[in-house]
Amino acid sequence: GAGVSQSPSNKVTEKGKDVELRCDPISGHTALYWYRQRLGQGLEFLIYFQGNSAPDKSGLPSDRFSAERTGESVSTLTIQRTQQEDSAVYLCASSLVPRGDEQYFGPGTRLTVT
Protein backbone atom coordinates (compact mmCIF):
# COMPACT_ATOMS: atom_id res chain seq x y z
CA GLY A 1 0.00 0.00 0.00
CA ALA A 2 0.98 3.63 -0.29
CA GLY A 3 3.23 5.06 2.37
CA VAL A 4 3.43 8.57 3.75
CA SER A 5 4.02 11.10 1.01
CA GLN A 6 5.25 14.65 1.27
CA SER A 7 5.40 17.49 -1.18
CA PRO A 8 7.35 19.22 -2.43
CA SER A 9 10.45 17.11 -2.02
CA ASN A 10 12.61 20.19 -2.27
CA LYS A 11 11.76 23.85 -1.75
CA VAL A 12 14.05 26.82 -2.16
CA THR A 13 12.61 30.11 -1.00
CA GLU A 14 13.77 33.60 -0.29
CA LYS A 15 13.99 34.90 3.24
CA GLY A 16 10.72 36.50 4.26
CA LYS A 17 8.49 34.43 1.99
CA ASP A 18 5.81 32.04 3.26
CA VAL A 19 5.96 28.31 2.48
CA GLU A 20 3.49 25.46 2.76
CA LEU A 21 4.59 21.87 3.19
CA ARG A 22 2.15 19.06 2.61
CA CYS A 23 1.86 15.61 4.14
CA ASP A 24 -0.39 12.76 3.03
CA PRO A 25 -0.49 10.11 5.77
CA ILE A 26 -1.22 6.44 5.33
CA SER A 27 -4.94 5.93 4.92
CA GLY A 28 -6.59 5.05 8.22
CA HIS A 29 -3.80 6.39 10.40
CA THR A 30 -5.32 8.60 13.07
CA ALA A 31 -2.11 10.17 14.35
CA LEU A 32 0.14 12.49 12.38
CA TYR A 33 3.43 14.07 13.44
CA TRP A 34 5.71 16.77 12.12
CA TYR A 35 9.43 16.87 12.86
CA ARG A 36 12.31 19.08 11.80
CA GLN A 37 15.78 17.69 11.12
CA ARG A 38 18.57 20.18 10.77
CA LEU A 39 21.71 19.08 8.96
CA GLY A 40 23.62 16.54 11.02
CA GLN A 41 21.16 16.63 13.88
CA GLY A 42 18.40 14.49 15.27
CA LEU A 43 14.68 14.93 14.83
CA GLU A 44 13.01 17.82 16.60
CA PHE A 45 9.34 17.27 17.48
CA LEU A 46 7.13 20.06 16.17
CA ILE A 47 3.48 19.07 16.49
CA TYR A 48 1.19 16.09 16.76
CA PHE A 49 -2.36 15.58 15.47
CA GLN A 50 -4.96 13.14 16.71
CA GLY A 51 -7.56 13.31 13.97
CA ASN A 52 -7.73 16.99 13.11
CA SER A 53 -7.02 18.09 16.66
CA ALA A 54 -3.55 19.14 17.79
CA PRO A 55 -3.26 18.34 21.51
CA ASP A 56 0.42 19.21 21.63
CA LYS A 57 1.84 22.20 19.78
CA SER A 58 4.67 22.70 22.23
CA GLY A 59 7.36 21.94 19.69
CA LEU A 60 6.49 24.70 17.24
CA PRO A 61 9.55 27.01 17.33
CA SER A 62 7.69 30.30 16.99
CA ASP A 63 4.37 31.82 16.02
CA ARG A 64 5.60 31.87 12.42
CA PHE A 65 4.93 28.12 12.36
CA SER A 66 1.43 26.71 12.12
CA ALA A 67 -0.13 23.45 11.04
CA GLU A 68 -3.54 22.12 10.26
CA ARG A 69 -5.05 18.80 9.32
CA THR A 70 -8.20 18.00 7.43
CA GLY A 71 -10.01 15.18 9.24
CA GLU A 72 -7.73 12.17 9.34
CA SER A 73 -6.17 13.12 6.06
CA VAL A 74 -3.81 15.70 4.65
CA SER A 75 -1.81 18.01 6.86
CA THR A 76 -0.15 21.27 5.97
CA LEU A 77 2.73 22.88 7.81
CA THR A 78 3.01 26.59 7.10
CA ILE A 79 6.04 28.72 7.83
CA GLN A 80 5.48 32.44 7.51
CA ARG A 81 8.22 35.01 6.90
CA THR A 82 10.86 32.32 6.53
CA GLN A 83 14.28 32.82 8.06
CA GLN A 84 17.57 31.15 7.17
CA GLU A 85 17.48 29.14 10.40
CA ASP A 86 14.31 27.48 9.10
CA SER A 87 16.42 25.61 6.54
CA ALA A 88 16.07 21.93 7.34
CA VAL A 89 14.36 18.73 6.29
CA TYR A 90 10.78 18.63 7.50
CA LEU A 91 9.58 15.10 8.15
CA CYS A 92 6.04 13.92 8.51
CA ALA A 93 5.03 10.62 10.10
CA SER A 94 1.77 8.85 10.76
CA SER A 95 0.71 6.02 13.00
CA LEU A 96 -2.40 3.90 13.30
CA VAL A 97 -2.98 4.95 16.86
CA PRO A 98 -1.12 7.53 18.91
CA ARG A 99 -0.17 5.51 21.94
CA GLY A 100 3.38 4.53 21.21
CA ASP A 101 2.61 2.85 17.93
CA GLU A 102 5.20 2.62 15.19
CA GLN A 103 5.49 5.82 13.21
CA TYR A 104 5.81 5.58 9.45
CA PHE A 105 7.87 8.37 8.02
CA GLY A 106 7.63 10.19 4.74
CA PRO A 107 10.69 11.06 2.65
CA GLY A 108 10.72 14.64 3.91
CA THR A 109 10.74 18.09 2.36
CA ARG A 110 14.13 19.76 2.17
CA LEU A 111 13.61 23.48 2.74
CA THR A 112 16.36 25.92 1.86
CA VAL A 113 15.92 29.57 2.74
CA THR A 114 18.28 31.88 0.84
Binding site for other proteins (CB under 8 A): 3-4, 31, 33, 35, 41-45, 48, 50, 55-56, 58, 91, 93, 98-103, 105-108
Question: From the CB of 106, what's the least distance to other proteins, in Å?
Answer: 6
Question: From the CB of 15, what's the least distance to other proteins, in Å?
Answer: 27
Q: What are phi and psi of 84, to 5 degrees?
A: -60, -30
The neighbouring-strand residues paired with 45 are 35
Which residue lies nearer to other proteins by CB, 82 or 88? 88
Question: From the CB of 14, what's the least distance to other proteins, in Å?
Answer: 27
Rg of the chain taking only CA atoms, in angstroms: 13
Closest to 66 (Cα-Cα) out of 74, 89, 57 = 57
> What letter represents residue 20's amino acid?
E
